[in-house]
Amino acid sequence: MLRSATVLLLLATTSCVARGDEVVELATEIDGLIRRRLAAENVTAAPVADDAEFLRRVFLDLGGRIPPSTRVRRFLADRDPDKRRKVVDELLDSSLYVVHFSNVWRKALLPETQADPQTRVLVPAFEAWLRQKLTDDTSYSEMVREIVTVPLAASRNPREIPGQADRPSPLAFYQAKQIKPENLAASTARTFLGIRIECAQCHDHPFDNWKQNEFWSFAAFFAGMERQGRGGFLAAIREVADRRKLKIPGTETSVGPVFLDGSRPLPTQTRGARQLLADWMITAENSYFAKAAVNRLWSQMFGIGLVDPPDDFTADNPPSHPKLLDLLASEFASHNFDVRHILRSIVASDAYQRTSRQTDPSQQKPRLFSRMAVKGLSPEQIFDSLAQATGYVPAAVGRTSTGPGALDSVRSEFVDLFGDDSSRPTQQRTTILQALALMNGGLVAEATSLDRSRTLTAVVEFPALGTGDRVEALFLAALGRRPGAKRLAALVAYVDAGGVTKDPAAALADVFWALLNSSEFLLNH
């Protein structure tokens, strides 16, 4: 039994190699490793999702919002066997991807902006910079190098506010860490290497090998940082380029920079300390760098990392699929740290494309990836999906309203309310306040108003449509799928009877309201 499975696997792999397609090849390898584990644990995998479920998922995961209903209709009608691959390519080349992943990276790199509202002024310039990098197709390693080595002299003028979208800069990484060497060391290790060394800041780490000395030696790469005067996060920053020693607080010991693997920069290396740190981090030999990155991408797509929590690589917290992690990391490094290559391959795998329905009682352990987990959406995804479904157009026109990510006060208020509770997407909870906002708040009220809603007005007023077509149009707009026959029949009866007010148009508004409040709309599945 096992042997025949292996043979099949080999056959599948061979046929794909023959096509010379790296994406399919990697996806097949991913599936091989995932299936091997499922077989070993006697778990039956759920079938691949239908077209509608798949399309909605990739739009949310890669583009940050649900698909427009016209795109859904086109996709469902398309007979091209390669259409899934093509829509993924289309999304990864679109501005939707750039805007969504700028948001994703910003939250990963500046987690402070999720926790402390005061740091939000740092977001526009940082996201603008990320959008620039993603548009230019800068590799991940170069992006990280630019962040770590950002020149600090630029912000010498204290009156200059380095938080504006028209001045793209990764400086916020330093500002959000309050320019403190210890914060920068902890964040750098955690964000780019998946290693939590901050416990060693005050004492030797109880479980891992990180000693207090090692922590501060790593922090010494940032020893030259100085904040100039007052001004909180936005104070001017200066760097004393040749300062390499850092005093461990509360002791008389000073330490010089040492990499986390114990090696030291050579005394002959005259480049800045941060340049040396970046050089060391992004080498292909530093496997933590690539592993941490692909694990983050995996976790972004599945809601659960191969190592989970995704930024905690320790002996205590082993990966669920070690070989898969190694494979993705080496592919990432050998493809010049190309994020889109990894995303394209993950999305092409059956593991990613499985339905979120539980189709077999054995599908209990989320870390085996036997079915797609249901994930919460980010506040931005919910807002942009609501906007997509309802035809919302921002009324408030901000100063920088021309570009993507433009100021929109309705959007930012909504994003604030929905916050992020920083729990994992598969554990994300709807709060009572969010439920109230969606049931009673202005945005959904507008969207379901017969006078003011674009989508609803179009559906209600379009001539020569039957009730069934109108209900279907609302389903496509909100859920990206057609209603099942039974549900459709019940809804047509409800609308034709006119609901509470005996008015079919109002009854359609009720249906749209319920769709926009449903968990199927508000979650990624």
**Which lies closer to another protein via its Cβ, residue 333 or residue 491?**
491
Q: How far is the CB of 156 from another protein (least distance, A)?
A: 25
276 binds another protein (CB under 8 A): no
379 binds another protein (CB under 8 A): no
Which one of 245, 427, 458, 462 is in contact with another protein (CB under 8 A)? 427
Q: Rounded to an integer, what distance in angstroms lies between the CA atom of residue 71 and that of residue 94?
A: 14
Closest CA to 225 of 260, 274, 168, 159: 274
Q: How far is the CB of 180 from another protein (least distance, A)?
A: 11
Which one of 5, 115, 396, 493 is in contact with another protein (CB under 8 A)? 115
Query: Which residue, chain included where needed, has tokens 């309705």?
Result: 410
φ and ψ of 518, to 5 deg: -80, 155
Which one of 441, 467, 482, 504 is in contact with another protein (CB under 8 A)? 441
376 binds another protein (CB under 8 A): yes
Q: Rounded to an integer, what distance in angstroms lies between the CA atom of residue 227 and that of residue 231?
A: 9
* Residue 142 tokens, joined: 């170069």
**Which lies closer to another protein via its Cβ, residue 12 or residue 445?**
445
* Residue 52 tokens, joined: 């509608």
Which one of 336, 358, 401, 409 is in contact with another protein (CB under 8 A)? 358
305 binds another protein (CB under 8 A): no
**Which lies closer to another protein via its Cβ, residue 107 or residue 167?**
107
Which one of 10, 161, 439, 458 is in contact with another protein (CB under 8 A)? 439
Closest CA to 219 of 191, 193, 194, 197: 197
Q: How far is the CB of 126 from another protein (least distance, A)?
A: 18
φ and ψ of 47, to 5 deg: -70, 165
52 binds another protein (CB under 8 A): no
**Which lies closer to another protein via its Cβ, residue 26 or residue 438?**
438
**Which lies closer to another protein via its Cβ, residue 230 or residue 429?**
429
Which one of 10, 80, 117, 271 is in contact with another protein (CB under 8 A)? 117
Number of residues that bind another protein (CB under 8 A): 65
Spell out the residues 6+ positions from residue 81 whose beta carbon is closer than 8 angstroms to its own: none
Assign 391 to helix, strand or coil: coil
* Residue 371 tokens, joined: 């079915």
**Which lies closer to another protein via its Cβ, residue 87 or residue 460?**
460
* Binding region for another protein (CB under 8 A) out of 54-62, 138-146, 211-219, 372-380: 372-380
**Which lies closer to another protein via its Cβ, residue 166 or residue 416?**
416
Q: Would strands 375-376 and 254-255 be described as parallel, antiparallel, or unpaired?
A: unpaired
Assign 343 to helix, strand or coil: helix
519 binds another protein (CB under 8 A): yes
Q: Tell the burial category of 369 from Cβ atoms under 10 Å away from its Cβ (0-12, 13-18, 19+).
A: buried
Which one of 445, 458, 489, 493 is in contact with another protein (CB under 8 A)? 445
Burial readout 232-262 (b: 16 or more C-beta within 10 A, e: otherwise): ebbbbbbbeeeebebebeeeeeebbbbbbee
By the 8 A CB rule, do 396 and 408 touch?
yes
**Which lies closer to another protein via its Cβ, residue 327 or residue 374?**
374
356 binds another protein (CB under 8 A): yes
Q: Rounded to an integer, what distance in angstroms lies between the CA atom of residue 319 and that of residue 41?
A: 16
513 binds another protein (CB under 8 A): yes
Q: What type of residue is 304?
A: I
Task: Tell which positions 406-425 bind another protein, by CB under 8 A.
Answer: 416-417, 419, 421-423, 425
Q: How far is the CB of 522 from another protein (least distance, A)?
A: 7
CA-CA-CA-CA dihedral for 71, 444, 435, 519, to nearest 10: -20
Task: Tell which positions 451-510 bind another protein, by CB under 8 A.
Answer: 484, 487, 490-491, 494, 499-501, 506, 510
DSSP code of residue 426:
G
Q: Rounded to an integer, what distance in angstroms lies between the CA atom of residue 5 and that of residue 477?
A: 42
Task: Tell which positions 150-209 bind another protein, by CB under 8 A.
Answer: 199, 202-203
Q: Rounded to an integer, what distance in angstroms lies between the CA atom of residue 185 and that of residue 219?
A: 5
**Which lies closer to another protein via its Cβ, residue 137 or residue 416?**
416
Contact set with another protein (CB under 8 A) = 111, 114-118, 199, 202-203, 249-250, 356-359, 373-376, 416-417, 419, 421-423, 425-437, 439-441, 444-445, 448, 484, 487, 490-491, 494, 499-501, 506, 510-511, 513-515, 517-520, 522-523, 525
